């Protein structure tokens, strides 16, 4: 059996991290197992606005289970997350920071008991924590479960989300009981079938929602019950394409380049399979730099400032705070001119999702980068979640988005390769607050 090439070996062979990660022929990233479309990406995008959508989150994320007397100490040591007020059943963003103050990534950490947590998200964060656990002496147990692309057999946990104005009504029906009062991102474990299910209250795309998490064996029964009881509400199951594009609506940047290419993390990169990183985090677009650091982001740029515990020590804290004065970019949404979008990116019926780093300019000068660009059919708009210099980040500001694919290493950063310029206007990072439940949705929910 061949051993997978490590990320460190692949970088050495390529000559640099940028040379390894760069591609001039990007592909749309899709989730494993979940079909790209089920009823059609446009109808699926409309479902979480108009009625209720079912999203299967069981396969594209990995899980890291952490338990033991020092679980809280260990996790807090390697994250800017505030652990001081962290209730059992609560979920928070886990925000690991590199030694030089950049963001390694972000995932969700759920506290399931006093000394037990589960972290769900991209595997580089989990593998970084596994590596750090071996660098010290911690009284903890860790169990890693990879995503369905790299794991044989089913996941240990199912994870379903109901999203939309009728999500609460369907949740009540499937559980057969009134829901307890839950704060946002708090959960409760309830008996279900021959097991139990954890119900987490959350909100995405400006709509209310609930996530169901439990042992895999319980998931199939729950899915059947959701389909049966959701039929009168016109429950729509969401495919991978519609779900991935929805990140732009919710203001969540899914694919920052992880800050893991420093010399001090050589040992960590030796534990990572190269293809896992290249698959999730390729670099492309009209912006090009030979320096991998130019693709990094900081927690402050990503909008995590209000949820971080800055008053205590954690890995990378001093460097992160030192960079704070240099963090001049702000997270915004760009709404691309409709005529320019149709001319360059395709008509309104064509699917669009792109994680490229495209230049954002003002009067020809670079003022920002795109992070994720998608067509949102219910809005009849193409939106780009972006980082823009603060002086140009006010809503209504007109900017230019330079669309095209730089050839990469060996070509000057400012080369002309046939780029197209699209007019764009700054909006808030979460594009639109959604309206209340429609009369049709209300009547279906009461049926």
Enumerate the known binding-site residues for substrate. Answer: 211
CA-nearest of 154, 127, 128, 199 to 59 is: 154
Give the whole-angstrom CA distance, residue 16 versus residue 11. Answer: 5
CB within 8 Å of 357: residues ≥ 6 apart: 283, 284, 285, 286, 287, 295, 369, 370, 371
DSSP assignment, residue 27?
-
CA-nearest of 122, 382, 380 to 248 is: 382
Give the whole-angstrom CA distance, residue 49 versus residue 422. Answer: 28
Give the whole-angstrom CA distance, residue 382 versus residue 373. Answer: 7
Q: Alpha helices, DSSP H only, in 51-120?
A: 71-77
In this structure, what token pair is assigned to residue 288? 């090009």
Give the whole-angstrom CA distance, residue 336 versus residue 386. Answer: 12
| Secondary structure of residue 157 in the 3-state scheme | strand
Query: Is-contact 165 441, C-beta < 8 A?
Result: yes
Residue 111, H or E segment:
strand 107-113
Query: Which residues are annotated as part of the binding site?
Result: 211
Q: Is the dihedral of CA 371, 331, 274, 110 positive or negative?
A: negative
Q: Alpha helices, DSSP H only, in 34-93?
A: 41-50, 71-77
Query: Is-contact 368 388, C-beta < 8 A?
Result: yes
CA-nearest of 226, 249, 248, 229 to 237 is: 226
């Amino acid at each position: 059996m061949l051993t997978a090439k490590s990320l460190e070996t692949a970088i050495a062979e390529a000559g640099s991290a940028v040379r390894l990660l760069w591609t001039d022929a990007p592909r749309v990233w899709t989730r494993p197992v979940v079909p790209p479309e089920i009823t059609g990406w446009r109808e699926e995008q409309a479902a979480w606005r108009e009625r209720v959508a079912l999203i299967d989150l069981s396969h594209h994320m990995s899980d890291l289970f952490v338990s033991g007397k020092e679980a809280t100490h260990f996790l807090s040591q390697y994250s800017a997350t505030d652990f001081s007020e962290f209730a059992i059943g609560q979920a928070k963003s886990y925000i690991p920071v590199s030694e030089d103050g950049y963001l390694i990534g972000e995932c969700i950490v759920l506290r399931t008991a006093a000394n037990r947590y589960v972290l769900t998200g991209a595997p580089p964060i989990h593998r970084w924590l596994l590596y750090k656990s071996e660098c010290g002496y911690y009284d903890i147990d860790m169990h890693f479960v990879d995503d369905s692309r790299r794991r044989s057999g089913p996941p240990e946990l199912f994870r379903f989300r109901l999203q939309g104005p009728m999500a609460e009504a369907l949740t009540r029906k499937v559980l057969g009981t009134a829901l307890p009062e839950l704060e946002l991102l708090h959960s409760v474990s309830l008996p279900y079938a021959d097991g139990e299910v954890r119900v987490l209250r959350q909100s995405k795309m400006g709509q209310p929602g609930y996530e169901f998490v439990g042992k895999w064996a319980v998931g199939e029964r729950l899915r059947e019950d959701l389909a049966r009881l959701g039929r009168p509400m016109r429950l729509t199951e969401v495919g991978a394409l519609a779900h991935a594009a929805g990140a732009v609506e919710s203001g969540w940047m899914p694919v920052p380049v992880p800050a893991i290419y420093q010399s001090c993390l050589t040992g960590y990169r030796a534990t990572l399979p190269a293809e896992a990183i290249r698959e999730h985090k390729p670099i492309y677009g009209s912006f090009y730099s030979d320096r991998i650091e130019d693709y990094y982001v900081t927690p402050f740029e990503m909008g995590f400032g209000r949820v971080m515990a800055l008053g205590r020590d954690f890995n990378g804290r001093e460097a992160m705070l030192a960079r704070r004065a240099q963090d001049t970019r702000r997270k915004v949404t760009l709404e691309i001119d409709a005529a320019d979008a149709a001319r360059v990116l395709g008509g309104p019926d064509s699917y669009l999702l792109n994680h490229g780093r495209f230049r954002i300019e003002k009067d020809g000068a670079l003022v920002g980068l795109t992070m994720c660009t998608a067509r949102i059919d219910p809005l009849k708009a193409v939106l780009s979640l972006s980082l823009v210099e603060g002086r140009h980040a006010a809503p209504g500001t007109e900017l230019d988005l330079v669309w095209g694919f730089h050839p990469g290493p060996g070509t000057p950063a400012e080369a002309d390769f046939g780029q197209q310029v699209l007019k764009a206007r700054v909006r808030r990072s979460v594009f639109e607050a959604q309206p209340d439940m429609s009369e049709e949705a209300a009547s279906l929910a009461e049926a």
